[in-house]
Amino acid sequence: MFTVYGPGITNPVSLEQLFVRHAVAKPAAVAAKQAIKTTIESQPGHAPAARDYHSSAATQQYQKAEAIREKSRSLKAGQIMTAPVVYVLSTATVAVALDALADGKFRHIPVLSSEQQIVGMISDRDIVSCLCGSAGVCVHCAKDKQEISLESIMKTDVLSASIDTDARYIARVFVEQHIGAMPVTEKDQLVGMITRSDILRAVMVNFDLNLWS
């Protein structure tokens, strides 16, 4: 489960919306030339052979067991996220964000409103662009650029994962959407952060390729 947060925004996002799926032509139906026998004829003088080794009930039980096994083996966001989360308020200044990034050795930090809702994200690149005056982001800035409010330079429409989101989906989003960090929420509250480093650390600790297939 993913959600987009921003100023006054809380929009759930499905996996289909995030991941582009290429259409595959539906194969034409193939008629069997000869009916397949589902029973085994018994030989004279012998007991009837067992019928239907793979009954529908047995198959369903096997599929359920496999589904439970796969679910238990997958890594969830809540297992690899970093918590508690360091954040800044949208009313804070660039100087405050710089200090937070430097103290925590972060590259990204979430921005929250006074109501503790995620409204944006700030990266070290955003701040460098602001301080350098590139891309015209500081046309209306104060003389001291470190006193600029984060509201004017933060990235809005932040994609967030829930605590039970499969880590494989998050890794795929990082690659396809060119994202370096993602907040983790529970009941619309910020509870953790996942970065590329967290994904790599999870791969090293859980080096079972079946978990990431």
- What residue spans define the domains of the chain? 2-13+76-212
Q: Which of 193, 200, 206, 153 has the alpha carbon at shortest distance from 175?
A: 200
Q: Which of 152, 165, 123, 120 has the alpha carbon at shortest distance from 5?
A: 120
pLDDT at residue 21 is higher than 80: no
Which of 55-59, 73-77, 98-102 is the least confident region?
A: 55-59
- 98-144: per-residue pLDDT in tens? 999 999 998 999 999 999 999 999 999 988 888 876 444 444 454 57
Cβ-contact 42, 133 below 8 angstroms: no
pLDDT given for residue 24 in this prediction:
52
pLDDT at residue 65 is higher than 50: yes
123 token code pair = 């990266």
- 143-200: per-residue pLDDT in tens? 577 788 899 899 999 999 999 999 999 999 999 989 999 999 999 899 999 999 999 8
DSSP-assigned beta bridge partners for residue 123: 108
pLDDT given for residue 99 in this prediction:
93
pLDDT given for residue 202 in this prediction:
87
Q: Which of 122, 101, 135 has the alpha carbon at shortest distance from 180?
A: 122
pLDDT given for residue 147 in this prediction:
85
Classify domain 2-13+76-212 at the CATH class level.
Answer: alpha beta
Phi/psi of residue 161, each to 5°?
-110, 155
pLDDT at residue 70 is higher than 80: no
Query: What does the mean pLDDT of the chain come to?
Result: 78
pLDDT given for residue 128 in this prediction:
86
Higher pLDDT, 16 or 167: 167
